[in-house]
Structure 1
Amino acid sequence: MWVYLICLVFHILSAMIWVGGMIFYVIVVMPVIRNPKLKDQKLTLLQLTALQFRSISYFLFILLITTGFGMLYTKGYLAEGEFVSFFSSNIGNMFILKIGLFLLLLISSLYHDFVSGPKTFDFLEKDSVQYERYRKLSGYFGRLNLLLSLGITLLGILVSRGVSIF
């Protein structure tokens, strides 16, 4: 019981920090960066905050995976007899959808954080056309990540309440 509660608390806190951090980035950091007073520091501030959030994000991803499976294990859903029946139930199907969206989020985040984001800064001084292309691509993946995160959060809330959309 205690292991489940510890996993639950860390799972919820990790999700709060991840989703809250993304929302904070969108509603606070981005508008501040667009302030004309920060014209000379804009890109440095953007790059430093992105790198800081990136390092926190992957630690949170590991915590979310660990605590998520920890909760399933302590509830007995991963036991040999329960495994098939759980994953073939409506709630199990929602869990599979949640994990699928999480994997999509992880792949999207890896691309955003290690390909499109860095290339945006690489092309800043070298090639304005490529810079603009990767800047837009990074923005698209950032918004996609936020939407996926909100969807995963909603599914997590529904699953925890025993509500199925199937």
Structure 2
Amino acid sequence: MLFYFILLILHIFSAMIWVGGMIFYVIVVMPVIRNLEFKDHKLKLLQLTALHFRNISYFIFLIFVVSGTGLLFEKGFFHFESGLELWTSNIGLMFLTKIGLFTVLFLSSLYHDFVTGPKTFVYLTTDPSRHERYRKTSAFFGRFNLLISVSIAIFGILASRGFSIFL
């Protein structure tokens, strides 16, 4: 039982850091960067904060995978005798949805962090139209990732309380 609670605490704290960090970025960092006082340093601040948060994010993703798998194991989802019965239950479908959304989030984050984000900065001085296109795409994926992250957190809260959206 102690192992379960350690995994649960790691999972919850990681979710707090991930979702809280994204919300902090949107409601604090972005408005500060848009301040005219930082006009000359805006892009460097944006790039440095994005790179720092990216490094933290993939460490958090690793914690999510390890702690989430451990939690499911502790709940019996990987035990041979349970078969598919747990996975096809209402709560099992909630966990499968959460896993699916996490997979989408991870792939979307990879695209945002290693394709659109870097290309936004690459094209900044060389190609203004491509820069704007990648900036908008990067912003879309950032918002999309926040929406998916909040959805995953809500599914986790509901499932942990025994509620399911599947009837």
Match of 1:11 in 2: 11
Distance 1:83 1:154 in 2: 27
Query: TM-score under structure 1 normalisation?
Result: 0.99
User: Once the 2 structures are TM-superposed, how far is the Cα of residue 163 of structure 1 from its aligned partner?
Assistant: 0.2
Query: TM-score under structure 2 normalisation?
Result: 0.98
1:21-66 deviation digits (Å, cap 9, x = unpaired): 0000000000000000000000000000000000000000000110
Match of 2:164 in 1: 164
Root-mean-square deviation over aligned CA pairs: 0.6
1:17-166 matches, cutoff 5 A: 17-166=17-166
User: Once the 2 structures are TM-superposed, how far is the Cα of residue 83 of structure 1 from its aligned partner?
Assistant: 3.7
Structure with a larger share of its residues in helix? 1
Q: Which runs of 5+ in 2 are unaligned?
A: none
Q: How many residues align?
A: 166
Distance 2:153 2:70 in 1: 18
Cα 1:103/1:90, change in 2 over 3 Å:
same
Identity %: 61
Distance 2:41 2:152 in 1: 34
1:119 counterpart SS class? helix
- Deviant stretches of 4+, over 3 Å: none
